[in-house]
Amino acid sequence: MSLATMKLRSLLFVPGDSEKKFARASASGADVLILDLEDAVAPSMKEAARGLVAGWIDTAEGLASKLFVRVNPLDTGLTEGDLAAVVRPGLAGILAPKVNGAQDVSAMALMLDHLETAAGMTAGSVRIMVVATETPLAMFHLGSYTPPHPRLIAMTWGAEDLSAALGATANKEADGSWTFPYQVARAHCLFAAGAAEVFPVDTLYVDFRDTDGLEADCRRARRDGFLGRIAIHPDQVETINRCFSPSEDDIAHARRIVALFAAQPDAGTIGIDGKMYDIPHLKAAQKVLAAAGETA
């Protein structure tokens, strides 16, 4: 499953122990539902949540390629049990939290290899998305994801666990912008995803009632290169989908660029309406068309 064949504009968290929230999330229009076995589930409820999530995967009609599960981190000793419960036909991917680098992706992939075989699934069908910045050690290993593991499809970042690990008293300025350490984490996650050629996904926007703030922040994220965003409430999905979808004008312009380069395969630059476009512009145009579901 490539960047051109899977949409990851909006990824909505769903607590793994709430039937009601799963039902609402299923109708939200999110590209991906992240069924959460980690932070959204109390320790006493984790075993029950595994059973609920497994049942949702078995019975969720019309949600093919939409169901991911956030498992518990490797250092908790719960990861293998989580995977054993949820790896079954209908599961599209795993969100791996608090990873320290590509070695954690490899460790989880080995577990998936065996579990897919046992479940009669196509080898490699369960993809892995990582939360790449939740530990201080992880910040030094962001380059390890290149070249990417075949299962790696996306990278996102997080500030809350990182700030807790650092002992920070806050991670936001008075105006709501990230303080410098978390600007660094965000930027380096974007660079790492670009280097590995996987989806860069921006972190969540906490205030789900602030629609205007969410839209402005999504516009900035798309401007910078992120291709999608995590949502924590169904009401955020429509805004996120709109902000991370190319406009009709964007699509039309991208088509012109791609068509002109295709008509002049030996050209390094082309001119459109008095402006010059080169190979980086062609690559950007191809990404716009991929985001629109078109083959460039």
Give alpha helix (H) positions in the chain.
19-26, 46-59, 79-86, 102-119, 136-139, 160-166, 180-196, 211-224, 237-243, 248-263, 279-291
86 exposure class (CB count in 10 Å sphere: 0-12, 13-18, 19+): buried
What pLDDT was estimated at residue 4? Answer: 47
What pLDDT was estimated at residue 64? Answer: 62
DSSP string, 242-257: HHTS--HHHHHHHHHH
DSSP strand pairing (269-272 vs 275-278) = antiparallel
What pLDDT was estimated at residue 171? Answer: 96
Fold of the domain spanning 10-245: TIM Barrel (3.20.20)
Listed by start position, the domains of the chain span 10-245, 249-291
What pLDDT was estimated at residue 8? Answer: 93
Q: What residues contact 234, with CB distance under 8 A and at least 6 apart?
A: 12, 24, 25, 27, 28, 30
DSSP strand pairing (228-231 vs 269-272) = unpaired
Instruction: Verify cis geometry, omega within 30 degrees of 0, for the bond prior to 147.
Output: yes
What pLDDT was estimated at residue 45? Answer: 94
Distance CA 295, CA 263 (A): 16
pLDDT < 50 positions in the chain: 1-4
What pLDDT was estimated at residue 209? Answer: 94
Residue pair 157/203 in contact by the 8 Å Cβ criterion: yes
- Residue 36 is inside which H or E element, if any? strand 32-36
Residue 73 DSSP label:
P
Backbone angles phi, psi at 132, to 5 degrees: -95, 0
- pLDDT tens for each residue of 101-110: 999 999 999 9
Distance CA 89, CA 91 (A): 6
SS3 153: strand
Q: Which two three-digit tokens encode residue 164?
A: 């807790």
What pLDDT was estimated at residue 2? Answer: 47
- Count of beta carbons in the 10 Å neighbourhood of residue 242: 13
What pLDDT was estimated at residue 295? Answer: 66
292 exposure class (CB count in 10 Å sphere: 0-12, 13-18, 19+): middle
- The predicted model scores a pTM of 0.90
Go through 8-46 and write b for each residue having 16 or more CB atoms within 10 A of its CB, e for each that does not. Answer: bbbbbbbbbbbeebbeebbebebbbbbbbbbebbeeebb
